[in-house]
Amino acid sequence: MQEPNDDQGTILRWEDHIVPILEHPDIHIRDKAVIAVAWESHARTSELHQLSFDDLEDRGDHMAILLTRPDGRERLLTLCGSMPYLKKWVQVEHPVTELLAGNADPVEEAAPESPVWTHTHSNKEISLNQFRLITRRACKRAEVPTEFTLYDIRRSRAKQLAVQLGLRAPALRERFGWGPHKRKEFVKTFEEDGLNEDVRPRPPIQCPDCGAWTLPNQRCLWCGTGC
């Protein structure tokens, strides 16, 4: 399967482009979850958009998501740093919670075909175009230096991790859902561009007050306690 061409656009950075969005108080948790999951999973926009509750598995301190490529092949990925955002969205803020009993866990009890990415006040899947606009709105709200798309996240992560891991690594091909056609020339011009840095979201911790999994060195996403 071929990927879009390797243009030399802006390479997104975790601290410069993603963190300002995740820490902004006026950006909805759904949109933070989309961007955090996109960064950690490196998924194609279409793979993320079509996620249903049947594709999610809660494993306590992390979640697993099942991505389906355009050709129908599947791959299972683990989410750690983005997990608190996704879990807060699907377990608390997602409109499907209004259709379930009070103590029900949507990941376990929502209809398997229920879409993960819905409107914030309606259990109706947002269109692919609306999904793509999430990053644009978030960038403007958080005043990040470069407006980016979900594809820009995938492209940037590919370049960053190619420098760190090498494109021949089976784990990298598995992570991005690539075939063996990828060449090392993909990152040739980026090896000296400071990309060999720790660009992963930090692993979650358990809040000392409520016990929920949340982000370190921030207020708990669930109860607001400083962690």
Residues 106-135, mean pLDDT to the nearest whole number? 96
> What is the spatial distance between Cα 65 and Cα 79, in angstroms, rounded to a whole number?
7
Q: Is residue 6 pLDDT above 60, yes or no? A: no
Non-local CB neighbours of 139 within 8 Å, separated by 6+ positions: 17, 21, 146, 147, 148
Residues 123-133, mean pLDDT to the nearest whole number? 97
Q: Is residue 26 pLDDT above 80, yes or no? A: yes
Q: Which region among 105-119, 144-158, 189-203 has the lowest average model confidence (pLDDT)?
A: 189-203
36 neighbors 85 (Cβ within 8 angstroms): yes
Give the phi and the psi of residue 126 in degrees, each rounded to 5. Answer: -80, 150
Residues 178-197, mean pLDDT to the nearest whole number? 48
Q: What does the pLDDT read at residue 138?
A: 97
Residues 119-128, mean pLDDT to the nearest whole number? 96
Question: Which two structure tokens, joined as six digits, stand for 215?
Answer: 């982000």
pTM, rounded to two decimals: 0.84
Q: What does the pLDDT read at residue 9?
A: 62
Stronger pLDDT, 17 or 194, i.e. the higher one: 17
Amino acid symbol at 89: W
Q: What does the pLDDT read at residue 201?
A: 67
> What are the CA-CA distances from residue 101 to residues 69, 96, 119, 192 (Å)?
34, 10, 21, 54
Burial of 56 (0-12, 13-18, 19+ CB in 10 A): buried
| Three-state secondary structure call for residue 56 | strand
Q: What does the pLDDT read at residue 183?
A: 46
Average pLDDT, the chain: 84
Going by pLDDT thresholds of 50, 70 and 90, the confidence category of residue 102 is: confident
Stronger pLDDT, 160 or 140, i.e. the higher one: 140
82 neighbors 41 (Cβ within 8 angstroms): yes
Q: Is residue 179 pLDDT above 70, yes or no? A: no
> What is the spatial distance between Cα 200 and Cα 223, in angstroms, rounded to a whole number?
25
Q: Which region among 8-17, 26-35, 70-79 has the lowest average model confidence (pLDDT)?
A: 8-17
Q: What does the pLDDT read at residue 166?
A: 57
| Three-state secondary structure call for residue 66 | strand
> What is the spatial distance between Cα 207 and Cα 198, in angstroms, rounded to a whole number?
24
> What is the spatial distance between Cα 94 and Cα 90, in angstroms, rounded to a whole number?
5
Strands 118-119 and 74-79: unpaired
43 neighbors 153 (Cβ within 8 angstroms): no
Percent pLDDT > 70 in the chain is 80
